[in-house]
């Protein structure tokens, strides 16, 4: 089943606050908020926690990265087949902290499509956004790397890159969703992202490092309804 839009995607990265048993705890909070509100929330736990988190919650669980290699003699790689067998519903591709070449992005998206896994292609500028949109992922997520992990949302610091990406991607494909990320922290940021034409947001530290994660998530989803 395709991911419902608009959506909030929470990337746990490899923060200690969201690894091991803490990953399960945060996943359950995300699931509870999604169930109580009806909001679409997708989570991407650390790769070593992917299988156990997928077995624990019913909301969509994504891999943070997958390698464009076949299963078999590929020791140390994370294969698409392995992710599917571990319960993943999709994957991030080309995150700013795990860049791939364009040909590798294309291969991962194609293989995931064959296996029925959704893909979110992360991009850092308009040309890469256009190139990835042409590969027909489920979403393209525009994230200026200089704003990732910062205190200022991309929707405030550089709203034009978001609106330009939305326009360019829509011209290439009407089916590819558009997300934005970097510095997203609250419902106002989410509401602005929707206003700029996106289908949701991708964020990490704003939730993972929050003192009250449930309250932050409830605030974030309020922005989907404004």
CA distance 133 to 131: 6
Q: Please, which pLDDT band fits residue 154 given cuts at 50, 70 and 90?
A: confident
CA distance 177 to 71: 29
Residue 107, phi then psi, degrees to nearest 5: -65, -45
Q: Please, which pLDDT band fits residue 109 given cuts at 50, 70 and 90?
A: very high
Q: What pLDDT score does 2 carry?
A: 74
Going by C-alpha positions, the residue among 17, 3, 28 that lies closest to residue 208 is 17
All structural domains of the chain, each given as residue ranges with its CATH number in brackets, are 7-222 (3.20.20.70)
Name the percent of the chain lying above pLDDT 90: 85
The residue annotated as part of the active site, out of 31, 65, 95, 106, is 95
Q: Does residue 147 register a pLDDT over 80?
A: no
Interval 171-222: pLDDT, tens: 999 999 999 987 788 999 999 999 999 999 999 999 999 999 999 999 999 9
Residue 125: other Cβ atoms inside 10 A: 14
Q: What pLDDT score does 127 carry?
A: 94
Q: Does residue 119 register a pLDDT over 70?
A: yes
Tell me the pLDDT of the chain averaged across its residues.
Answer: 93
Q: Are 63 and 83 in contact (CB under 8 A)?
A: yes
Going by C-alpha positions, the residue among 108, 109, 130, 111 that lies closest to residue 178 is 130
The residue annotated as part of the active site, out of 143, 146, 151, 195, is 143
CA distance 112 to 117: 5
Interval 5-30: pLDDT, tens: 999 999 999 999 999 999 999 999 99
Q: What pLDDT score does 75 carry?
A: 96
143 among known catalytic residues:
yes
65 among known catalytic residues:
no
Q: Please, which pLDDT band fits residue 150 given cuts at 50, 70 and 90?
A: low
Q: Please, which pLDDT band fits residue 53 given cuts at 50, 70 and 90?
A: very high
Q: What pLDDT score does 157 carry?
A: 66
């Amino acid at each position: 089943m395709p991911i419902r839009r608009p959506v909030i995607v929470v990337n746990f990265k490899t923060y200690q606050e969201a690894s091991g048993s803490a990953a399960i705890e945060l996943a359950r909070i995300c699931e509870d908020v999604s169930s109580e509100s009806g909001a679409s929330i997708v989570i991407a736990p650390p790769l070593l926690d992917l299988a156990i988190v997928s077995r624990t919650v019913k909301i969509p669980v994504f891999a943070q990265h997958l390698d464009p290699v076949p299963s078999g003699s590929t020791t140390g790689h994370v294969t698409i087949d392995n992710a599917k067998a571990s319960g993943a519903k999709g994957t991030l591709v080309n995150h700013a902290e795990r860049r791939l070449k364009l040909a590798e992005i294309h291969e991962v998206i194609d293989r995931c499509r064959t296996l029925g896994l959704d893909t979110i292609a992360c991009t850092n500028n308009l040309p890469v956004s256009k190139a990835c949109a042409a590969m027909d992922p489920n979403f393209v997520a525009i994230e200026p790397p200089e704003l990732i992990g910062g205190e200022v949302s991309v929707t405030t610091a550089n709203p034009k890159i978001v609106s330009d990406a939305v326009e360019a991607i829509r011209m290439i494909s009407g089916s590819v969703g558009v997300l934005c990320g970097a510095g997203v922290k609250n419902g106002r940021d989410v509401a602005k992202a929707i206003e700029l034409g996106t289908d949701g947001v991708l964020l990490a530290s704003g939730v993972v490092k929050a003192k009250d994660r449930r309250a932050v998530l409830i605030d974030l989803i309020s922005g989907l309804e404004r």
